Amino acid sequence: MSAAIRVENISKKYILRHQTGGRSRYVSLRDVLARRAKALFQKNPADASREEFWALKDVSFEIKQGEAVGIIGRNGAGKSTLLKILSRITKPTRGRIEIEGRVASLLEVGTGFHPELTGRENIFLNGAILGMHRAEIKGKFDEIVAFAEVEKFLDTPVKHFSSGMYMRLAFAVAAHLEQEILIVDEVLAVGDAAFQKKCLGKMNDVSQSGRTILFVSHNMEAITRLCSRCLYLVKGELKLQGETREVIRAYSEHSKQLSGEIDLTPLPRRFEGNGAAQLLRLRSVQNRNTAAWCYEYGTPLEFAVEFSVSRTLEEPEIGYAIFSITGTELVSTTTYQECPLEQLLPGQYSMRITIPDLSLNPGTYVLALGIATSGRSADHILEATQIEILPSQLSIEKGLHKIWSPITPHTIFELNHI
């Protein structure tokens, strides 16, 4: 069986630029968490405004015609970047790819749709973008409409469609127009159960017909049912490839290492605190996701920090900061802002931290922790763990897949007709 896709040493580099600013006169715990974290991510401290970030590093694999292959890994592992390269949306920095056959990609809801055009018109537009002739599209038109279940709204501009209607129509077009290769990203995981089942059934039919499928998902059950082989990416590198169950087992074992309690005592400190307190353990509060430190968008972020106090802390502060995977500070706060503490006597303590509405968009983030007393750092850790915010139905309804920024704050808009 010949290769449908051959990838040789693909790498993708992005240049990240950071703002620089002057030194603050007062150094708080929040300042400590923010400033010292920069050293964690900068390869050249002298150049604080420019940084290289490798989303993919020397990835090589081959996919045979007719194979259904899953791609798994935590957010930020490089899965979407790889799919964009294979879909010819972006170019690799180096490396080589060979693709035999036409490619249909469903990387986000409504890709290739024009909001002012009707559903009917967008079927033909999207089909043309995917490289299909008008006669081919007409031949599949009735099947597409029946699968998407949008007959009543076919002549309505798609800007009035709900997110569910968008998904059904976008998937129907990609799955029914017979390109040799179908690429599907995480977008299906946020549909309702009936929709997911229907889409998985259709992808199974596509695979049985001899077409090639690449499928990215956090749903391990769906990956197992659909894919005979799997690729596992970690921080831009291909960690493992092989039979699906074996690869998923390796992924699960790695997730377990990140779950439960994290021993903070051996983690590096970038500069010395005064030793009056020590961060000991970090625990993820149980959530409904299978992996720890993974939270669906719209659900509270909860964790508990254990620490010891060796001598009395005056005006103590316990705080956290959250950074992007590339080191940009996004969120930080301490007990001083929410519930000021006057004193902590020697002993061992546990602080449960709940963030009801973090407003972080789906992605991977870094959690930093710190303790201070009278404005001086007692102990801090710059990379306690990584937190993963997963897509949810709510994130799709809000259109967050169309937004590049990591945070979408609650905002009140008031429109007045003048």
- Strands, E assignment, 141-235: 181-184, 212-216, 229-234
Summarize pLDDT for 284-330 with one digit per residue, the tens.
875 554 467 878 788 888 899 999 999 999 999 999 999 886 677 88
Q: Which amino acid is present at 227?
A: C
Partners of 215 in the β-ladder: 70, 184
pLDDT at 240 > cutoff 50: yes
Phi/psi-derived region of residue 99, left when phi > 0, alpha when psi is between -120 and 50, beta in every other case: beta
Candidates 3.40.1000.10, 3.30.70.240, 2.70.50.60, 3.40.640.10; CATH matching 261-402: 2.70.50.60
Q: Which amino acid is present at 391?
A: P
User: Burial level of 308, CB count in 10 A (0-12/13-18/19+)?
Assistant: middle
Q: Where are the domains of the chain?
A: 52-256, 261-402
Which residues are within 8 A (CB) of 70 and not within 5 positions of it... i.e. 6 or more apart? Answer: 215, 216, 217, 223, 226, 227, 229, 230, 231, 244, 247
Domain 52-256 matches domain 261-402 at the CATH topology level: no
Partners of 334 in the β-ladder: 319
Distance CA 361, CA 108 (A): 15
Fold classified for 52-256: Rossmann fold (3.40.50)
Lowest mean pLDDT among 82-86, 88-92, 282-286: 282-286
Residue 26: predicted pLDDT: 47
pLDDT at 360 > cutoff 50: yes
Summarize pLDDT for 399-418 with one digit per residue, the tens.
776 666 778 777 777 778 88
pLDDT at 214 > cutoff 80: yes
* pTM of the predicted protein model: 0.60
- Name the DSSP class of 177: S
Residue 178: predicted pLDDT: 73
- pLDDT, mean of residues 234-249: 90
